[in-house]
Amino acid sequence: MNQEPAWNVSIKSVEREEFYFAPNTGWQVKVPTFRVHFNTDCELRLHAQDQILITVGEVGTADWAAFIGMAIECGPDSILLYTNPQYESRLVEAWQFEMVFSPLNSIEGAQNVIDTLGFFPPFHYDELTNVKLENADQGARYEHLSLTITHTSTDGLEQPLDFNFEDVQFKNISPAEERNVCLQLSFAYEGEQIGVQLDAMTGFAATFLCRKVVVQLG
């Protein structure tokens, strides 16, 4: 499993840019992004779509904060970031970038999702169906989880995505209901495994470790 490399950085400037995911397609979406110019003592080994933990402020003070961003373009002394605009004013204070997860490296089928949607989405408010657990009643240490999340564009375009999680160890789980709506699906490396957190608006939710994630366009 990938390690979680971290880099200390000194920010030179932050510029706001508009960026289009999946331009000239039905999935096109315009998002605010930030071109961050920095100095660092070593090369950032980051790639497009990598999830990054950005640390700002002085540790141990009220100014300290950490938040997630996604790398869109990576260069030797700059990076184009997609993150919540509420953090725009804090980016100039950033002093560490840490890669927490790479969908392209660690989710089989992620490239097809990105080619279609323009990015690997967090599935905010998308409907979740077909939740299935195998080996749940056979006393096995590991389980297999499969489910479908239907990603919906702002214009109502729908794309079902079938997920399979192998060798699952649950930390907590809430059962599926008649209607299940995802709040967010997030990933992070945890040792040799992948940590998965599926938060829900309603219905099925879970936090677990797994050894393999596969996704297919439905």
Locate 116 and state its tokens.
């279609």
**Do 3 and 188 form a contact (C-beta atoms < 8 A)?**
no
Residue 198's nearest CA partner among 146, 158, 156, 159 is 146
pLDDT, residue 43, reads 83
Cα dihedral across residues 30, 35, 48, 94: positive or negative:
negative
Distance (Å, whole) CA 2 – CA 53:
15
Q: Characterize the bridge pairing of strands 51-56 and 29-40.
A: unpaired
Distance (Å, whole) CA 33 – CA 118:
14
Q: What is the pTM of this model?
A: 0.90
Locate 110 and state its tokens.
């992620």
Q: Which amino acid is at 92?
A: V
Taking only the tens of pLDDT, the chain with its 218 residues reads 555 689 999 999 999 999 999 999 999 999 999 999 999 988 888 889 999 999 999 888 999 999 999 999 999 899 999 999 999 999 999 999 999 999 999 999 999 999 999 999 999 999 999 999 987 555 556 799 999 999 999 889 999 999 999 999 999 999 999 999 999 999 999 999 999 999 999 999 999 999 999 999 99
**Do 93 and 101 form a contact (C-beta atoms < 8 A)?**
no
DSSP string covering 156-208, please? --EEEEEEEEEEEEEEEEE---SS-EEEEEEEEEETTEEEEEEEEEES-EEEE
Cα dihedral across residues 148, 48, 39, 4: positive or negative:
positive
Residue 54's nearest CA partner among 81, 23, 25, 18 is 81
The β-bridge partners of 173 are 206
Locate 27 and state its tokens.
């999935």
**Do 143 and 204 form a contact (C-beta atoms < 8 A)?**
no
Q: Which residue has the tokens 């992620």?
A: 110
**Do 70 and 38 form a contact (C-beta atoms < 8 A)?**
no
